Amino acid sequence: SQTIHQWPATLVQPVGSPLSLECTVEGTSNPNLYWYRQAAGRGLQLLFYSVGIGQISSEVPQNLSASRPQDRQFILSSKKLLLSDSGFYLCAWSVGQTTDTQYFGPGTRLTVL
């Protein structure tokens, strides 16, 4: 069966520090991968999606970046965190089209102080 892992589960970082969140999927090949953010008092927002290794599409401009170094690994990064980067970050995967059912990871709660 397929499983999706995210770590860390919670993170507290100072403003200006770097960020690296990791997401891995097991039990499937060539999944579509997604990064979402849910900021306090705001809804979910799609940040990045990837249809394959090295292929990243960005939906909104921000100081975050994403990389997909391996088929089932998706990394969300920042060189310098802002206060506004605080939120709940979710990774998800789907098979095939982006319209297919997506399966979400447990999420990482990031607090930037």
Binding site for another protein (CB under 8 A): 34, 38, 43-46, 49, 57, 59, 88, 90, 92, 98-104, 106-107, 109
CB of 85 to another protein, least distance (A): 17
> Please, which residue, 80 or 104, has the CB nearer to another protein?
104
CB of 45 to another protein, least distance (A): 7
**Distance (Å, whole) CA 110 – CA 103:** 21
> Please, which residue, 18 or 59, has the CB nearer to another protein?
59
CB of 38 to another protein, least distance (A): 8
> Please, which residue, 67 or 94, has the CB nearer to another protein?
94
**Distance (Å, whole) CA 112 – CA 54:** 28
Residue 65 CB coordination number (10 Å): 15
Tokens of 65: 């970046």
Q: Is the alpha carbon torsion for 91, 94, 100, 102 positive or negative?
A: negative
